[in-house]
Structure formats: structure tokens, C-alpha cells
Structure 1
Amino acid sequence: MDRGRGRTPHSRGRNSPIRRSQRANDQSKHPHNPVVGDGFSGSKSCSGKDGRKSYRQNSGRSFSLCHGSQASHYCEQSSSSSCEGDDESVKVTTCQLEQRVPDTSSGCSEELDRETASKLVVKSDAELPSRQGDPVEHLESRNPTIVHKTVETENPALVEPFDICRPKESGLVSLKVSLLVRNREKRNETKRNMGTTSRTVLRPGMILLKGYISSSDQVKIVERCRQLGLGPGGFYQPAYREGTKLHLKMMCLGKNWDPQTSEYGDRRPFDGARPPNIPVEFLQITEQAIRDSQALIQQDSKTGKPEKTLPSMEPDICLVNFYSQNGRLGLHRDKDESEESLRRGLPVVSFSIGDSADFLFGDERDPDKAQKVVLESGDVLIFGGKSRDIFHGVTVIHPNTAPKLLLQETNLRPGRLNITLRQY
């Protein structure tokens, strides 16, 4: 009979007596597989008015992707014949999630978005019912795309790793640094080796060592931070407990610092990653910078024990922050270390790499009353002793102020790389 013509009362239409009788028989044979309403009755058709598509897995189980008032949602599906044959498939009474489902019907969703995926809870294999006589097999061994836990889209672990250096594009010719710039870098290197670079005591226990880190060491620091930042426990954008995100990217070395709890730990709470170890080069620069600062204090104050003004330390914590050109950090105090460390005034040692920044510091949390100093690439700032508890922050990143030689060697992104070391 032509499909365009009318059907007789005994036709095999959806609501024909024959079809109703078949459904009743199926229901009596499988009482544990009730027919689900809303039009999702058993059928050999791959798609229907409800926009349903049955996807047959290797095991013979089928899943239903449905539309309508609840678009892009996986629903329970009654026992039905698959599109590929007449074998009955096992009913799945829990939501199943595939990261990507191809669209072969106009009524089916091309891709399940992450927002929808984050709302789905997937049960384990043991919770899936089976037909009598059919053993429940391990689904993951047959289909590795099935997810067995809830996907949290706000989890920073799902964010792609942040690269502090721009990728080098093939085919582009980079301009070499001029001879004038190279000669200037060599002169600064000579001054640094002779110990004639600017070294200033800003206040008791707070010392600024200008141009302290050599150009070659700056390149090594950038390359080391980039390598660590792209691996496990690398850079991410932190946020406080109330949800406010910091205007920077952060990576912890040695111990993890959690801005939501203001506590240190051995793992990052959101992904369980262990912080990488602190590179030996960072520790060596820190140790030497403290010794040179103590020598400067002794020279200025004529005291025999500069350690009382600026104690020595053995760093086991390193926070690496990358500020973009619009990055900043409000006035705050570093007070999450141990009581003994704070009582002894063990210092914080800060390296500056890349673009220059305005650094504020003072005894009060008031920017109008704070002092300001410009930190440039290669500078080392130390504050300990009586200055350990000062308020400090970064208000401005000055664009296009990073050394040209550093940018050519590393392809560092516009912004400031800041490394701070301390002892818990």
C-alpha cells in the first residue's frame, strides 16, 4: 500500500490493534522493563517525531538522546530493537554520558555541551540492571568513552595549561637585538659582577637589589618557569573563597598555597596535583641575595650582627605569579606561614622578570599612605625582620619595558613574572 494513502484498520500503524497487541505482549514478557511514556515506546525506527536517536554500543546496549522541553538530556529508554537488527537491547535506567555523540539525524544533538555534562551523575557498572540471565560486563573495557564520574566544568583542572611564552611561529623573521642594546646589557653585567649595582636599604629589614639577576639567569628562570608551568601543578588562575579571581596566573612550588583557605598543603585541592620542587637555581640566588643584603646592612649600620635585622632562611615555599599588562595585586600581608617563621621575621625574597611594575608598601592598608618603588627586570626585593609584616602590592604593570634581549631569547609574553620564596 502507498505510504501516502490512508491505512486500513488492520494496518501495522503505531496505534493499530496489531501494534497495541505486540506492545502488551512485550510488556507481559518483560515486566521489569516498563514502557516509558512521552512517546518513547519500543520501535525499530532510528528517529521519530520526538527527535530520538538510539545509539548502539559494542555490547548491544542502547542509549537515547531526546529533545523537546528538555533538550540535550539523556533519558531512560525502554527495551527496544536497535536500528541495526532485531536483537533486543538491554534497558539502561541510568543516564549515560559520552563526551561526543555524532549527529546522524536532524532531530539529534551534535554535541553535548559541558554545561549539560556538569549536571549529569553517572552510576557505576554495578548499579546498572541487566536482563535475567545476562551478566553485567565491564562497560569501560568495551567503550572507554563512558565517563564514570561527574564532570565539574568550573574545575580549574579543566582549563588548558597557561604558557608564559608566546609560541614561535614558523616563517616569521624576528629582528635581532641591536648592538647598542647588547653593549648596554654587557655593561650592566660587568657592574653586577663588580658589585657596583644599586643596592638600597628601603627601611629596616627591607632591601632592594637593582639589576641583581644577570640577563643569562633571567633567561634560565623564564625557561624553567615555563617548563614547570606547563606540567602537572602548573599555572592556573586562582580565586578567593567568595569567588573573586586574582588578576594573575599562579603556580606553587615546594608547598601549595590555597587562596580560598589561606593555608599551605602538599596537594592542590581542586586536582590533587603535587607542587613541583623548587629549582636549585632559585635557592642559590636567594641564598646569595640574603648574604649580600646582610653585608649591606652591616656596612650601613656598623653592627656586628646583621642577622638580627635580616635573618637567614631555608626556603621551602615558592610562589610564581605572572601578571599580564593589566594585572595587579591589592595591598596585603604575607601572614600564612608558621607562627615561628613570622615571629622570627624570616624574609620574603622576590625576583622580578619582564615588564616593570609599581610596588607599594607600608604599615597600613591604605594606598594613599604607602610608599612606591619601581621594580624592573632582574631586581631582587627582600623584606624580613621588622619589615616582614608590611602591607604590599602591585598596582601597575608598565608595558613594553622588558629587556629586548630577554624577549628575543625567551619570547616571554607581555607582563611581569614574579617569583617569591619564603620558609614555612
Structure 2
Amino acid sequence: MPGISTKGKQMPASPIRKLVPYAEEAKKRGTHVIHLNIGQPDIKTPKVALDAVRNHTIEVLAYSMTEGSEMYRGKIAHYYSKNDIHVSSSDIIVTTGGSEALSFVMGTIMDTDDEIIIPEPFYANYNGFATASGVNVVPIASTIENNFALPPIADFEKRITSKTKAILICNPGNPTGYLYSKAEIKQLAELAKKHNLFLVADEVYREFAYDGREHYSILQEPGLEEHAIIVDSVSKRYSMCGARIGCLVSKNKDVIETALKFAQARLSPPTFAQMASEAALETPQEYFDAVVMEYVDRRNVLVAELQKLEGVKVAVPQGAFYCVVELPVANADDFAQWLLEKFELDGKTVMVAPAAGFYATKGLGENQIRIAYVLEKEQLVTAVQLLGTALKTYNA
């Protein structure tokens, strides 16, 4: 029998999706599963985006430009200018989701066995992209005790070697919901310049900043033009996860020219999805104001309910729509599977994402879960009540 590649064996399973078979079995038994495991917003996609596809007049569904349509990229640049990020259409490559942008970045700036430093916990698929590119992730742990703030810059410096090519952050963070301050971004910028590294920022949750805080982009930082690379996506901003449209943004011309070669290998991003994404840029500010208000309410309800549970510790998110929760269990993986296989109350159970898969350091996060608060408040209350009962039963 032919063998599987070493890379294939090393490819990590998604902590967000690996429990899906158990959830499907629970549903077949008639159990209602409340999904706290995946960041699929229930917010409606802007009508203007759906209408753009619905009312199209295309007669031949042709390839688009490899880098994305000129008109769409021009409109993206205008969107960025409204966020005090000044780039041109030539600084942008449209990608098939933020995921493809990340894989292009890995291929563009890193060779096999090069190193990328990432504060952990981090979006689990960063491990996957790194494995696929033969790149080594060098993690730096942030902690729930200080809400997953940026680790000390001295900790970054200790880990920089001749193989280090970049630092990667997610801002606001998935899975933590932490929003890096302007001062923290400036610290990272100085470090990148000092050691001649790239600073890559996954900014897909830019709009979701709470409690009067403002998002500060790495491309707002003066003097970082040759070092900064942004990864972005329409998935969460406009509740358009299925569109699979994102982009890579950099003022470094070598980065753009090289990434374009990777983009040419996959031909072009999808045409209809670009149409929808271009139209979505017309979404009025009131949409985001309402969405942010809704997520703040959900966060407040979720955190308040979790804080009622004995032995549970929760980090308070400042952005995005996730939080990391520490549970009074030894192994959150086992607990999450048990919730789906063995537990139900009034015909309901809860699906969560074990947080160990969001860490690269073995042993970290084993008693933590990530919760995505993308459900209505009543469902969140019910889910936490189920979680509380489940913890008592499981620990008994």
C-alpha cells in the first residue's frame, strides 16, 4: 500500500472541526447541539452583497484577473483609506479567503525550516499553514491571567535566530478576543525593524473593537512599509464566510510580485464571490454599529454567566467574538467529546472547541476551551447553564 507523506502525517486536525462526527451522532440521537465551537456568525449578510449576485447579467463566467479585479481592488484601497491605512490597488492581491492569503505569505517570505514567531494561543490553522509550507512555528505563551496581552518583547528577542523571518499576530485575536494596543504594535514594529523581520498581521476582525477601543493596524505605523504584511477577509466583517474572499496587502513590492506568482498558480479568485464582496463595501456604517453593539451585549451576557460557574476562569474579550475559558477539568478534549457522547439535559448539549489545539506548546491549554459567541443571548445563557450542569456531572 502506498505511504502517506511525513508532511501529511504532521498536518494537525482542526480543534474547531475534529469533534463534528460526535456532534452529528448526537443529532442523530435527537439531541439538540448548541454550537459554541465555530465562528460562523448568525448575523445576516448585507442584502447589497447578495443582490449583486442575484441581479448579475453575466453570460460567460470567465476567469477574473489573478490579483483580483482592478475595480474591486480599487474599492478595497478606498475602504482602507477610511481606516487610515493608505495603500493603492497595486498593493493588494485578492485571495480565496484569508486562508489562501496566509499560505501565500508563508510561501513568499519563508523557506523550509525557517521560523515564524507567534504569540499563543493562536488561530489553529496557522499550525496547518506552517506545516504545509515546511515552516517551524516558534510560540510565545500569553496567559489568561493578564487577558492574553502581548508577551514581553524580551521574550520575543530571546527566540529570534538566524532562521527567524517573521512575527505573526492576529489582531483582534482568535481565539482570545484580545485587541493589541497602539503601544504594543509599536513595540513589535521596532522589533521587526531592529532584526529586519516581517511583521504579519491577520486583521480580519478589524471592525470588532469594543468598549471605546480603536484598532491600530500595522500599516498605520510609520516606517514599517517594507516589513508589514496584512492578511484580511470579508468572512467575518460582512458575515460572508462562504464567499471565500480575502486579500494580502503590503507596500513591499517584492512581496506583492512574489505572492502574485503563487496566485497565478491557482489562476484566479472566484468571480461571483468578488462581485458580492465588492458590493459589500457599500454596506453603511450603521450595519457595523448595530453588529458591534450586538456582540458587546452577547459578550457581556456570556462573561457574566460564565463567572457564575464555580472553578471557571474567563478572559474578557476586547474584540472579535471569541473568548478562552479555563475549566475545572484535567482534559478539555475529553470533556468536549463527553459532552457530545454522554451528556444531555432536556434534550440539549453543547459543542465547544478544546483550546489545546490553539497552542503550539505541548501541555498548554489542556484545561481550556474556546467559545464563539455568535449565537443569540438566550442561547448563550442556555449553553452556559448546560455547561455548568455538565461540569458537575463530569467531575462527579
Shorter chain as denominator, the TM-score bin is under 0.3
TM-score (norm 2): 0.27
For the pair shown, the structure with the greater C-alpha radius of gyration is: 1
By percentage of residues, which structure has more helix? 2
Compare relative contact order (CA 8 Å, sep 6+) and give the higher one, 1 or 2: 2
TM-score, normalised on structure 1?
Answer: 0.25
